[in-house]
């Protein structure tokens, strides 16, 4: 079992170059420049190691965390991922910057390779899905809040979505706040970023996936509408929803029935209703 042990002395200095580079990953430009992202806490780190060892570059554990969560070192060893023992002050310094500032990493940080982020990758990810049979895609277009992006990915995963596509105007799912809100789902299902909405819509049509929008003005009630077996739910900005051009371009628009006097649903509530109604229908299919 010596393979599972760190082969260096522990990282002690909160001001080392290595620690500062990991801390900087709170920012999108640093993530792009380094081509890396970071993951905090035993649960999210376990999910990364177990689901996407191919993306995992480095693992940092405190002595305490390594003994509390022995599976982390074991997963790293199995995938030949370098494990570094780190002391608490240095670990805390790794996550001190940005939105993650108030959160404790609970002894575990991992660094991953940032996946390709461009319009072509998004189109290719759609083309890589099975050409026939039921398919559920979620498209996040101009969803600006990292916490919302993370929660939407988590809900898409729970409802059995096959793919999440983010257009380039959405928040980055690899920001520490979004990674946290994903609760591991970021590594459970394919998530691609950097999409161009027009190219995404064209790729969906090419793959016979019907793009569907929700709109308070649609005449079709979600619960009464026939939903295609291959569907892509288009989710828009928190404040003003989908832009008019995208709404116009969507072949299907449905209205979520609102029974009370609430004027609208927030984007996550609307997504939950649509995705679980899709799942419910599939269960019957």
Give contact residues for a copy of itself (rule: CB under 8 A). 51, 151, 154-161, 183-185, 188-189, 223, 256-266, 268-269, 272-273, 276-277, 279-280, 282-283
- Shorter beta-carbon distance to a copy of itself: residue 41 or 184: 184
Contact status, residue 65 vs residue 136, Cβ threshold 8 Å: no
- For residue 83, give the nearest of 116, 119, 107 by alpha carbon: 107
Nearer to a copy of itself, 23 or 186 (CB): 186
Tokens of 273: 């209703």
Q: Is there a contact between 122 and 194 (Cβ–Cβ < 8 Å)?
A: yes
Toward a copy of itself, which CB reaches closer, 94 or 163?
Answer: 163
DSSP 215-247: -TT-SSBTTTSPPPSEEEEEE-BTTTBS-HHHH
- Note whether 204 and 126 are within 8 A (CB): yes
Q: Is 209 or 267 the residue whose CB approaches a copy of itself more closely?
A: 267
Minimum CB separation of residue 199 from a copy of itself in Å reads 26
CB of 144 to a copy of itself, least distance (A): 16
CB of 154 to a copy of itself, least distance (A): 6
Write down the least CB distance from residue 66 to a copy of itself, Å: 23
Interatomic CA distance for residues 146 and 151, integer angstroms = 9
């Amino acid at each position: 079992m010596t393979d599972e042990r760190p082969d260096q002395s522990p990282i002690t200095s909160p001001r080392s170059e290595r620690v500062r580079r990991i801390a900087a990953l709170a920012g999108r430009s640093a993530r792009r420049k380094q081509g890396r992202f970071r993951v905090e806490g035993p649960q999210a780190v376990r999910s990364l190691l177990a689901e996407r060892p191919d993306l995992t570059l480095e693992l940092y554990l405190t002595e305490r965390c390594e003994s509390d969560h022995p599976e982390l070192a074991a997963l790293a060893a199995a995938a030949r991922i370098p494990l570094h023992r780190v002391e608490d002050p240095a670990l805390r310094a790794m996550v001190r910057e940005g939105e993650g500032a108030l959160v404790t990493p609970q002894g575990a940080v991992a660094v991953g390779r940032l996946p390709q982020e461009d319009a072509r990758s998004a189109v290719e990810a759609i083309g890589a899905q099975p050409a026939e049979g039921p398919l559920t895609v979620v498209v996040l277009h101009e969803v600006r809040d990292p916490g919302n992006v993370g929660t939407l990915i988590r809900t898409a995963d729970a409802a059995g979505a096959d793919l999440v596509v983010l257009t380039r105007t959405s928040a980055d799912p690899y920001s520490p706040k979004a990674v946290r809100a994903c609760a591991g789902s970021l590594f459970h299902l394919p998530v691609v970023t950097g999409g161009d909405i027009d190219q995404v819509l064209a790729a969906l049509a090419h793959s016979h996936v019907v793009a569907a929008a929700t709109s308070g003005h649609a005449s079709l009630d979600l619960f009464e509408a026939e939903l295609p077996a291959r569907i892509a739910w288009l989710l828009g900005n928190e404040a003003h929803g989908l832009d008019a051009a995208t709404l116009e371009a969507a072949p299907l628009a449905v209205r979520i029935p609102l029974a009370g006097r609430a004027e609208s649903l927030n984007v996550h509530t609307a997504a939950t209703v649509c995705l679980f109604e899709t799942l419910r229908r599939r269960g019957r299919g």
